Structure 1
Amino acid sequence: MAANLDDDQPIDPENIPPQSTADEAIAATDTAAVITNQASDTMEVHHHGHHGHEKKNWKNYFWEFFMLFLAVFCGSLAELQVEHYIEHNREKKYAQTLIEDLVSDSLDLNKDIQFWNTLANRTDTIRREIEKPQPMRNQFLLYKCIRLIKANNTFLYHDRTIQQLKSSGNFRLIRNKEIADSIVNYDAWIQKTINDIENIYGHVLSPQMSEVENQLYNSKFFEVGNNKEKFDSLLLDNPGSILIKDDKADLQFQYYNKLWDYKSLTKARIYFLSSLLRRGTNLIALLNKEYHFE
């Protein structure tokens, strides 16, 4: 009965003991999660900090050194390649301008050789006329040839490119040894052989011949040039003025011998000019073959 009475009694809310609510459970769960996350963050920070101070072994140093060396080496190769390309273009440009100079030299040499061949023939004509007795001489032809051999025609050296190569130290750009040697020999041939002959003619032989000519021949007949009518008219007016006096026979003989020296030097000049022309032609062929200009 007692039990039944208890069951039937009304329940007093104040007498109900306190119980854990759902909010308290959730709060406890959140607190635990926060503590867990903090612990995890602390461990991660500690882990990363420790990794940065790991000790390197020889393999790490080797690979770092290798990568650095590879970068420097590749950079040097690229720089050398660019420098090689630039220098090759400069070499080719020098070759082009050198060919232009050699072609100009060849044109001038051909004219010079023709000039000196003509002059050598005129020297022979003068000697043949001098060998004749005075009354038998063709005075117009004699004076004409004497006047014409006074001319001089020096070789015009087009050395623009060779001077640039010499003054700038860029002969090293000419990699083909045969071409480099040919250029040097070509320049030396002109500087020594051709210039020596021109100096002998201009400063020694020509002044000597002019001195003798001034004592033997009347300059009035030189003034008429190639005009035979004026020459004949002048000769008619002054027939004795063109004759060489007997007391100058030795001087005329001296002049005759000087003409031989003059012709010999002229023949040597023609030989050396022709040789220079061949050298220039061969050098042009070498340059065209090496640099594929043709």
Structure 2
Amino acid sequence: MEENQEIAESGKDISNIEMISSLKKKNWKSYFKEFFMLFLAISLGFFVENQREAYVENKSAKVLAQSMLEDLEQDTTALHSAIRFNKEKEFEISSLMKILNSPQSTWDTLAIYQKMTATFATFPFSPTDGTYTQVKSSGTLRFFEQSLVNQMNAYDNQLRKTLFRDELIEKAEWELVPLGAEILNFEVTGELRFNKSITREMYLKIPDKRTLDIFINKIAVVRTMMGRSIQEYEAQLLLGEELIKAIKDNYKL
């Protein structure tokens, strides 16, 4: 009797163990399934979010690219005008130096005044760089491909050199002003600058050769700076045209 009872209890124990084992297996499968579904949901969420961000970035990049393209096209137009103006000014300065280096008896006073007026005339290049400045400061430069970013940075670096050369020309011209004011009647150059009839006396007060040499030398400095500035403008223009092409090709604009 006791033996039968022990066998029965033993059978129950085995049955309970098998049931617990079965439940554990079911629970493990359930946990694994839940974990997998959670992992899948998180991964899908990340994928959707990344796709959404990529879409927004691409959309924003295209809008910014269009704005930058407009800035660059304005720059190239301005650079063409600045190069043309500076080359004409450089020619006038060279002509002035040729006159001043010839015998004083052959000088054409009106021509000297006209060419000095041209020497002091200015046509500075003012870049339209609002979009690039905004993109760089806001961190949205990362929206663009690295090759395009490299071109943008190269254009900006050249721009700094170009503007620096403009500053050097302005400095050289200001250093010429005091001596020029002693030699010439600036009221006449003012009339010539605004295409007015000459009403003031055109005189040339050059007391000695030393003063003339200093005058010519200061004019030569302006011409030298003009030549370097033209080179920087041409380099700026080339980079600008290449960047315009790259933006159009990348964004089908």
Give TM class, smaller chain: 0.7 to 0.9
> What is the SS of the residue equivalent to 1:88?
helix
Name stretches of at least 5 consecutive residues in structure 1 with no aligned partner: 1-53, 236-240
Q: 1:76 — aligned with what? A: 46
Correspondent of 1:209 among 157, 172, 176: 176
Structure 1 letter corresponding to 2:49: E
Structure 1 letter corresponding to 2:169: Y
Percent identity between the aligned chains?
Answer: 24
Superposition pairs of residues 190-229 of structure 1, within 5 angstroms:
190-191=159-160, 193-202=161-170, 204-225=171-192
Pairing 1:128–2:88 present: no
Pairing 1:242–2:203 present: yes
> What is the SS of the residue equivalent to 1:57?
helix
Q: 1:181 — aligned with what? A: 150
CA 1:158–1:229: 2 relative to 1, 3 Å: closer
> What is the SS of the residue equivalent to 1:148?
helix
Correspondent of 2:236 among 276, 288, 293: 276
CA 1:143–1:66: 2 relative to 1, 3 Å: same
Report which stretch shifted further, 181-190 or 130-139.
Answer: 130-139
Structure-1 separation of matches of 2:194 and 2:128: 37
CA 1:61–1:223: 2 relative to 1, 3 Å: closer
> What is the SS of the residue equivalent to 1:149?
helix
8 Å contact from structure 1 (residues 140, 228) kept in 2:
no
Return the offset for 1:248: 3.2
Return the offset for 1:58: 1.4
State the aligned residue count. 230
Larger Rg: 1
Quote the RMSD (CA, aligned, Å).
Answer: 2.2
8 Å contact from structure 2 (residues 92, 119) kept in 1:
yes
Structure 2 letter corresponding to 1:199: E
Return the offset for 1:280: 0.4
Return the offset for 1:243: 4.0
Correspondent of 1:172 among 127, 130, 142: 142
Return the offset for 1:66: 1.5
Structure-2 separation of matches of 1:70 and 1:227: 76
Structure-1 separation of matches of 2:102 and 2:216: 12
Name stretches of at least 5 consecutive residues in structure 2 with no aligned partner: 1-22
8 Å contact from structure 1 (residues 109, 277) kept in 2:
yes
Correspondent of 2:219 among 256, 259, 264: 259
Superposition pairs of residues 54-203 of structure 1, within 5 angstroms:
56-174=26-144, 176-191=145-160, 193-202=161-170
8 Å contact from structure 2 (residues 158, 235) kept in 1:
no
Structure-1 separation of matches of 2:143 and 2:68: 13
TM-score by length of 1: 0.72
Superposition pairs of residues 16-55 of structure 1, within 5 angstroms:
none
TM-score by length of 2: 0.83
Which ranges of 4 or more aligned residues in structure 1 deviate by more than 4 Å? 226-231
Return the offset for 1:263: 1.0
